[in-house]
Amino acid sequence: MGRYVIRRLLQMIPVFFGATLLIFLMVNVMGDPIAGLCGDRECDPATAAQLRKEFGLDKPVWQQYLTYMGNVFTGDFGTAFNGQEVTELMATAFPITIRLTIVAILFEVVIGITLGVVTGLRRGKPVDTGALLVTLVVISVPTFVTGLLLQLLLGVEWGWISPSVSSEAPFDELIVPGLVLASVSLAYVTRLTRTSIAENTRADYVRTAVAKGLPRHRVIRKHLLRNSLIPVVTFIGTDIGALMGGAIVTERIFNIHGVGYQLYQGILRQNTQTVVGFVTVLVLVFLVANLLVDLLYGVLDPRIRYA
Amino acid sequence: MRRAMRGRWVACAAAVALVATACGGGDDSGGGGGGDSGAVLSSSWGDPQNPLEPANTNEVQGGKVLSMLFRGLKQYDPKTGQAKDMLAEKIETTDSQNFTITVRDGWTFSNGEKVTAKSFVDAWNYGASLKNNQKNAYFFEYIDGYDKTHPDDGSQQSAQTLAGLKVVDDKTFTVKLKQKFSTFPDTLGYAAFSPLPQTFFDDHSAWLSKPVGNGPYTVDSYTKGSQLSLRKWDDYPGDDKAQNGGVDLKVYTDNNTAYTDLMAGNLDLVDDVPAAQLKNVQNDLGDRYINTPAGIIQTLAFPFYDKKWDKAGMEKVREGLSRAIDRDQITETIFVKTRTPATDWTSPVLGGDGGYKEGLCGDACEYDPDEAKKLIEEGGGLPGGQVKISYNADTGSHKQWVDAVCNSVNNALDNEKACVGNPVGTFADFRNQITQQKISGPFRAGWQMDYPLIQNFLQPLYYTNASSNDGKWSNADFDKLVDEANAEEDTGTAVEKFQQAEEVVRDNMAAIPLWYQNGSAGYSARLSEVTLNPFSVPVYDQIKVG
């Protein structure tokens, strides 16, 4: 087990370098960002040259990348064009996005799995068909429509929530944005759980458990769910990274200054250091989430063991 | 089905109930700053692109803050745009090249430091010095010695201070320009010319995280990227004391969200009504929506560095293109009257005395498809049979109007392929393509004035090798007239000279004027006396709350 974890951690190193290099090159290909800093006029060449030097843009790309990587290992992620340290931006953005992601994941787990179990056990009943229809609708409606509709209804028409989230972004303000962010995945989790449960209800071990006279809730919890949740856990695990990086739309709608906002701002201003810094952290999140998921398999199904 | 649905709604309702209790008293914005009686208003804001320093801020969002934090030698009247003395007691000159500036007594920075002649001279030297990377450094280029503090050829900076600035005593300093520039005093209302306190130089990073100025407001707290709280400065010595307790500037990523917040009573003032809401804004806000002219003009510039556009006869093609654009229809349908069809190359905010001349463009800006077709044929047709209008697609609904302009041109010429839009992903990339002269057709050129002078609408844009002459248009007659106008002591005559120069621009159709942009804003019922100045920035100090 320990060996397996170490091997996985070592595998992260090339992935990490490859991903950062790719992002670095992508942002660099967009060209020189300095020209965008002077409004609708040409930067005076002397100042532009100075700025390029300051942000290290005057060196060849490979050298820029090496310098950048070297700095990253000393905890220096560079500076954004407005003079803020990227680490400072991360310190404000990541906690907010993590909170938003936690809310979204909770919705997925609680509502998604519950609905999935209920419909999975009542295959073909009206409940099942209804839930299928609802999830189909949710999957097919884009996030920004759901977001804007909820914002308009709850925020403006009925005044139950504030349409935008304050800069502190406490948990309670993130409930509706979290629901919007989770909505699509929520539908997937529901359907995935339903299918998985439906398949396993016919399995031999379930029949055995029922024949032993175990109470129904125990059969479901101990035997059925543990086996059925493996694909669901995989999905939710990979979704953590996707939610954190993909919250751009939701964050824009509700004016949440999280990772999505900083990435958007960074891409728009072609600020390599911001974009690469944030994406690097997101890559790490993805990798760690994946590892955790794989380790959870062993907990859910003792037959899966890593030597 | 019923049960599942109910589960969903119960969850929603629970969620909403939680949020509702949390946001129950969401509309208290009472001033937390030092017991001031005035109420505080909240206003939409965008994250400023550059550090908040007077000589480093060149866009509206940062400028907004500077307009509350600083007062310079001159102040532009929010209604007329006229430059009026603020901290300047008098500015004297005998030759339009050497100026003696006397600073008024009794002004201090909000930290108690006195504002003296030195505060100005130090600030200007800082702005002009290359090593400080100030993006507005070129505002000091007319001052003698600028080329030593800011060598544009990339050579070593040989002086730390401008030779043309001399402190005489606490109240007086002299400015020597490198050329005659009669309207120089009127440029001094621009934020780059603000005075700076000693703390700015002593502890720069501390100053940046909590700027200190001499304007009607002080910074109460500043969370970068999300909120800046400004509070009324009670001991402010000027006449334009703040009429409210303060302003909370809240950063919005998306102006649609800001508008929604205004509708929900969560925000008091939005100074950028999103294009998508312009149709409903009258219904939503009634007379709490303002739409006033601002010193912004949109034009189409041409790549004169490209032989195809610079040969004889092309002026007819350019004029033809201008006549093929139905400005009235585009400003009506796409911009819902927040733009006005342009009839000259300046802006109505200058006023008649300031050099705005309605109809200076004449027929060349009138929509006439038949005439357009004829002119383009006479001039030898479109280069390569097609024009590509380049624009940056990342901000400000440019796509819509470029497509509309192209449609208009295509209809006029009965040719589906005469004109297409060429979107460029980001503003920086767009600017790069322009400066590297990679653009081979007309491109979007917006100009927001720095100060309300006709000079500012002509010289930076059309003078040979000027800082914003992106198309590299060059015309000896125009340059001569501008030089004469700058040397002219009498303002009226100077303005006339500039208008003659503008006629040279017209006769060559150096750029196609499209429309004047208005500033638009919407505000909540709590506010009154909301106006926008000619720079499309709300006049915060005059707003009354409650």
Residue of B nearest to A93 (CA): B225
C-alpha A76: how far from chain center? 24
Cβ within 8 Å, pair A42-B223: no
| Residue B19 domain flag | no
- Residues of chain B with Cβ-Cβ distance to A159 below 8 Å are 264-265
Same domain, yes or no, for B54 and B156?
yes
Cα separation of B382 and B418, whole Å?
8
Note the helical H segments in chain A. Answer: 2-29, 45-54, 61-73, 86-107, 114-121, 126-140, 143-150, 175-201, 204-211, 216-218, 226-245, 248-253, 259-268, 272-300
CB-based burial, B343-366: b 16+ in 10 Å, e otherwise: bbbbbbbbeeebbbbeebbeebbb
- Residues of chain B with Cβ-Cβ distance to A257 below 8 Å are 225-226, 251, 253
Cβ within 8 Å, pair A37-B429: no
Cβ within 8 Å, pair B435-A179: no
User: What are the pLDDT tens digits along chain B (546 aa)?
Assistant: 333 333 333 333 334 333 333 333 333 333 333 334 579 999 999 988 888 999 999 888 999 999 999 999 999 999 888 899 999 999 999 998 999 999 999 999 999 999 999 999 999 999 999 999 898 998 999 999 999 999 987 788 899 999 999 999 999 999 999 988 888 999 999 999 999 999 999 999 999 999 999 999 999 999 888 899 999 999 999 999 999 999 999 999 888 999 999 999 999 999 988 888 888 898 999 999 999 999 999 999 999 999 889 888 899 999 999 999 999 999 998 888 899 999 999 999 998 888 999 999 999 999 999 999 999 999 988 998 899 999 998 876 789 899 999 999 999 999 988 999 999 988 888 988 988 889 989 999 989 998 899 999 999 999 998 888 999 999 999 999 999 999 888 889 999 999 999 999 999 999 999 999 999 999 999 999 999 999 999 999 999 998
Residue of B nearest to A127 (CA): B1
pLDDT, residue B14, reads: 39
C-alpha B218: how far from chain center? 23
Crossing angle of helices A175-201 and A114-121, rounded to 10°: 30
The partner residue sitting opposite A255, judged by closest CB among B26, B133, B253, is: B253
Strands laid side by side in the B165-167 sheet: B88-93, B98-103, B172-176, B165-167
pLDDT, residue B24, reads: 32
N residues, chain B: 546
Q: Give the mean pLDDT of A221-250.
A: 86
How far does B234 lie from chain A, in Å, by closest CA?
28
Cα separation of A38 and A27, whole Å?
20
DSSP 8-class letter at A163: S
Asked if B343 contacts B359 with a C-beta cutoff of 8 angstroms, the reply is: yes
- Residues of chain B with Cβ-Cβ distance to A155 below 8 Å are 260, 264
DSSP 8-class letter at B114: B
- Residues of chain B with Cβ-Cβ distance to A44 below 8 Å are 137-138, 150, 152, 467
Cα separation of B212 and B134, whole Å?
18
Cβ within 8 Å, pair A46-B50: no
Q: What token pair was written down for B439?
A: 């653009």
β-pair partners for B390 = B422, B443
Q: Give the mean pLDDT of A229-250.
A: 86
- Residues of chain A with Cβ-Cβ distance to B150 below 8 Å are 44, 46-47
Residue of A nearest to B391 (CA): A40
CATH number of the domain at B356, please.
Answer: 3.10.105.10
Residue with tokens 């000259």: B344
pLDDT, residue B1, reads: 39
What average pLDDT does the structure give for chain A? Answer: 86
- Assign A306 a pLDDT band (cuts: 50, 70, 90): low
pLDDT, residue B19, reads: 38
Q: What token pair was written down for B34?
A: 């030092």
Asked if B69 contacts B230 with a C-beta cutoff of 8 angstroms, the reply is: yes
Asked if B444 contacts A25 with a C-beta cutoff of 8 angstroms, the reply is: no
Q: What token pair was written down for B377?
A: 């044929």
Cβ within 8 Å, pair A40-B151: no
How far does B340 lie from chain A, in Å, by closest CA?
21
Cβ within 8 Å, pair B19-A115: no
Same domain, yes or no, for B206 and B301?
no
Element (H, E) at B447: strand B443-448
pLDDT, residue B5, reads: 39
Cα separation of A217 and B14, whole Å?
26
How far does B20 lie from chain A, in Å, by closest CA?
5
How far does B138 lie from chain A, in Å, by closest CA?
7
Of A58, A81, A50, A32, which is closest to residue B149 (Cα–Cα)?
Answer: A50
Cβ within 8 Å, pair A268-B426: yes
- Residues of chain A with Cβ-Cβ distance to B5 below 8 Å are 130, 134
Cβ within 8 Å, pair A164-B261: yes
Cβ within 8 Å, pair B260-A265: no
Cβ within 8 Å, pair A37-B432: no
| Residue B107 domain flag | yes
Element (H, E) at B391: strand B387-392
Residue of A nearest to B8 (CA): A111
Asked if B467 contacts A44 with a C-beta cutoff of 8 angstroms, the reply is: yes
B211 or A234, greater pLDDT: B211
Q: What is the CA radius of gyration of chain B?
A: 25
Q: What token pair was written down for A190?
A: 């529901």
Collapsed DSSP state (helix, strand, coil) of residue B388: strand
Cα separation of B171 and B162, whole Å?
19
Collapsed DSSP state (helix, strand, coil) of residue B399: helix
Best A100, A132, A161 member to test B by mutation, with max B CBs in 10 Å, is A161
Cβ within 8 Å, pair B253-A264: yes
Crossing angle of helices B491-508 and B454-462, rounded to 10°: 40
- Residues of chain B with Cβ-Cβ distance to A111 below 8 Å are 7-8, 11
| Residue B18 domain flag | no
Cα separation of B469 and B460, whole Å?
6
Last residue of a domain, one of B210, B237, B261: B210
Q: What token pair was written down for B334?
A: 């796409």
Cβ within 8 Å of residue A178, ≥6 positions away: A100, A102, A103, A104, A106, A107
Cβ within 8 Å, pair B467-A35: no
- Residues of chain A with Cβ-Cβ distance to B427 below 8 Å are 36, 268
| Residue B160 domain flag | yes
Residue of A nearest to B256 (CA): A253
Same domain, yes or no, for B206 and B312?
no
Asked if B471 contacts B329 with a C-beta cutoff of 8 angstroms, the reply is: no
Q: Give the mean pLDDT of A210-236.
A: 88
The partner residue sitting opposite A173, judged by closest CB among B22, B58, B250, is: B22
Total tally of structural domains belonging to chain B: 2
DSSP string, A74-105: TT---B-TTS-BHHHHHHHHHHHHHHHHHHHH
At B223, give phi and psi (nearest 5°).
-100, 105
| Residue B217 domain flag | no
For residue B289, what are the CA distances in angstroms to A125, A257, B114, B519? Answer: 54, 28, 40, 11
How far does A8 lie from chain B, in Å, by closest CA?
37
How far does A15 lie from chain B, in Å, by closest CA?
29
Cβ within 8 Å, pair A179-B59: no
Cα separation of A28 and A60, whole Å?
11
| Residue B44 domain flag | no
Same domain, yes or no, for B312 and B196?
no
- Residues of chain B with Cβ-Cβ distance to A176 below 8 Å are 15-16, 19
Last residue of a domain, one of B210, B228, B247: B210
| Residue B7 domain flag | no
Cα separation of B411 and B374, whole Å?
14
Residue of A nearest to B22 (CA): A172
- Residues of chain B with Cβ-Cβ distance to A35 below 8 Å are 428, 431-432, 435
Same domain, yes or no, for B178 and B313?
no
How far does B228 lie from chain A, in Å, by closest CA?
11
- Residues of chain B with Cβ-Cβ distance to A54 below 8 Å are 133
Cβ within 8 Å of residue B347, ≥6 positions away: B293, B294, B295, B296, B297, B356, B449, B457, B516, B534
The partner residue sitting opposite B49, judged by closest CB among A82, A154, A261, is: A82
DSSP 8-class letter at B70: -
Of B448, B153, B481, B132, which is closest to residue B299 (Cα–Cα)?
Answer: B448
How far does A213 lie from chain B, in Å, by closest CA?
28
Same domain, yes or no, for B337 and B201?
no
- Assign A305 a pLDDT band (cuts: 50, 70, 90): low
CATH number of the domain at B62, please.
Answer: 3.90.76.10
Best A30, A34, A47, A156 member to test B by mutation, with max B CBs in 10 Å, is A47
The partner residue sitting opposite B468, judged by closest CB among A40, A54, A170, is: A40
Count chain A–chain B contacts defined by CB atoms under 8 A: 213
B18 or A295, greater pLDDT: A295
Cβ within 8 Å, pair A42-B435: yes
How far does A207 lie from chain B, in Å, by closest CA?
27
Residue of A nearest to B434 (CA): A42
Of B78, B46, B52, which is closest to residue B271 (Cα–Cα)?
Answer: B46
| Residue B145 domain flag | yes
| Cα-based torsion angle of the residue sequence B464, B467, B468, B474 in order, rounded to the nearest 10 degrees | 10
For residue range A13-33, list pLDDT tens digits in order. 898 888 888 888 888 777 788
- Residues of chain B with Cβ-Cβ distance to A26 below 8 Å are none
Cβ within 8 Å of residue A211, ≥6 positions away: none
Same domain, yes or no, for B187 and B328?
no
Name the percent of chain A lying above pLDDT 90.
19
B154: domain range?
Answer: 49-210
- Residues of chain B with Cβ-Cβ distance to A51 below 8 Å are 133
Of A45-49, A87-91, B36-40, where does mean pLDDT reach its minimum?
B36-40
- Residues of chain B with Cβ-Cβ distance to A268 below 8 Å are 394-395, 426-427
Same domain, yes or no, for B175 and B304?
no
Of B152, B434, B48, B201, which is closest to residue A81 (Cα–Cα)?
Answer: B48
Same domain, yes or no, for B310 and B196?
no
Collapsed DSSP state (helix, strand, coil) of residue B76: strand
- Residues of chain A with Cβ-Cβ distance to B264 below 8 Å are 155-156, 159, 162-163
- Residues of chain A with Cβ-Cβ distance to B522 below 8 Å are none
Asked if B46 contacts B65 with a C-beta cutoff of 8 angstroms, the reply is: no
DSSP string, A256-293: --SHHHHHHHHHHTT-HHHHHHHHHHHHHHHHHHHHHH
Same domain, yes or no, for B346 and B492?
yes
